[in-house]
Amino acid sequence: MLENATVWAEKQFGKTNLGDPRRTNRLVKLAATIANEPGKPLVNITQSPADMEGAYRFIRNDHVEPNAIADAGFQATVEQAQEHELLLALEDTTNIVYSHRSVRDDLGHVNQGNRHRGMLAHSILLFAPQSSKVVGLIEQSRWTRDITTRGKRRLHAQTPYQEKEGYKWESASRNMADRLQSKMLDVISVCDREADIYEYLEYKLDSQQRFIVRSMQSRHIEEGENKLYAFASELQSAGQKQVHIAQKGGRKARCATLDIVFTPVTLKVPSNKQGKSLPVYYVGCSERENPDSELNWHLLTNEPVHSKEDALKVVSHYEYRWLVEEYHKVWKSDGTDIESLRLQSKDNVERLVTINGFVATRILQLKFTNEQGHASCEQVLSPTAWKLLWLKRMKSQLPDSVPNMSWAYQELAKLGGWKDTKRTGRASVKVLWQGWFKLQTILEGYELAKSLESNL
């Protein structure tokens, strides 16, 4: 259940070691303030001039380490992870771009055109598929590129693996494993094509860490004389899977029929690498009659795949990978809007970016309610909260049973001003959070009225 901002902030950051308990108290207060009204400038959400000055002093304090803030948030995720039998570690990298000039000199290049400066971030979001719950952020690294190295990709082959940006995948897994310890046995890393790196796959296999990685290239394999994709194209279909593709932009909604294939394969060592062959399972999921479809997936995994059901389970896990992309969108623009920050140094930006990284997971938990369909809305709203929402929106007698999550999603969005003019059934993060904030205000008023009544 989503808690009020103060309770959430205390659980998330109350144990942060910043060298002074007063700094930790200020962090908790600041995080709660941001969580209540994410995406707004501090000057608009702090309750008094003293609060605003305290918030800015905290952000400018050189003794406040962003990594210490993050470590507390990661530990809170570790504690929540213990409640779930299976966890998907959804990974991705993103650019955080700043077009204004306030911190440009401290930042590096983020694109080939060098029009903007910024930093890069690699995040791991834990998701529990059995309960359809966004658990939290378990790892996030941020870095800036040296502006003088722009255009030097030709030196990539001569650069040691540990010095390449691609090493971030292994580094992130090592950090996650250090935090989760034995719980790593229940974690499956789910990564897109950028993680199809020989050294990374070798590390995951050697460490016995579970993974599903979308293949980026048709690697040489020991089976037959073909490369991977050609070999896979000759496999007999193990069955089919129907998927609905939603309307987006100029793309029409449609149903697609996907063929499922699977087989164990052994990846050969690339000619420019040293090491050993890697035994993995291959799972293919594709529209064979439409080779240009974006749904043609080649997946590599060390999850045992001996049947169609096993293969479909791997595919279903990979289908959740979009959530980490959605997380980055919520973090960067739609939710906490960190790309609009206008602070005077990279260090100040990083402190606020780090706090908002965890606020963004809280926002995503609310947005994901629509995906949970028929589950009870009490996974998100307290009994009192959903009853007040019902009376506010439905204006009728309370139902005999608890409404589902889809109802909560729709009514929170409508409370925030959503009209569904495009008939997509999907509300933006901003209107959902506006609805949530309005409901919290109603709830606080109700609790205050009860308190006054009991004291009279």
* Tokens of residue 131, six digits: 């309960």
pLDDT (tens digit per residue) in 311-359: 999 999 999 999 999 999 999 988 898 888 887 788 888 999 999 999 9
Residues pairing with 124 in the sheet: 91, 139
Cα angle 126, 128, 133 (rounded to 5 degrees) comes to 95
Which own/partner contact pairs does 411-417 have at CB distance under 8 Å and 24+ positions apart? Answer: 411/435, 412/366, 412/369, 412/436, 412/439, 415/389, 415/439
The average pLDDT across 83-94 equals 97
What fold does the segment set 86-327 form as a domain?
Answer: Transposase Inhibitor Protein From Tn5; Chain A, domain 1 (3.90.350)
pLDDT (tens digit per residue) in 356-392: 999 999 999 888 877 777 888 888 888 999 999 999 9
Number of Cβ within a 10 Å radius of residue 24: 20
Q: Is the pLDDT of residue 133 over 70?
A: yes
Phi and psi, residue 274, nearest 5° = -120, 135
pLDDT (tens digit per residue) in 180-225: 999 999 999 999 999 999 999 999 999 999 999 999 999 999 997 7
User: pTM for the complete prediction?
Assistant: 0.90
Q: What b-and-e string marks burial along 141-156, b requiring 16 or more CB atoms within 10 Å of the CB?
A: bbebbeeeeeeeeeee
What residue spans define the domains of the chain? 86-327, 373-455
Amino acid at 416: G
The average pLDDT across 16-20 equals 95
- Top-tier CATH class for 373-455: mainly alpha
* Tokens of residue 436, six digits: 């949530």
The burial class, CB within 10 Å (0-12 / 13-18 / 19+), for 208 is: exposed
Phi and psi, residue 301, nearest 5° = -150, 160
Phi and psi, residue 19, nearest 5° = 85, -10
Residue 111: the pLDDT is 67
pLDDT (tens digit per residue) in 268-285: 999 888 889 999 999 999
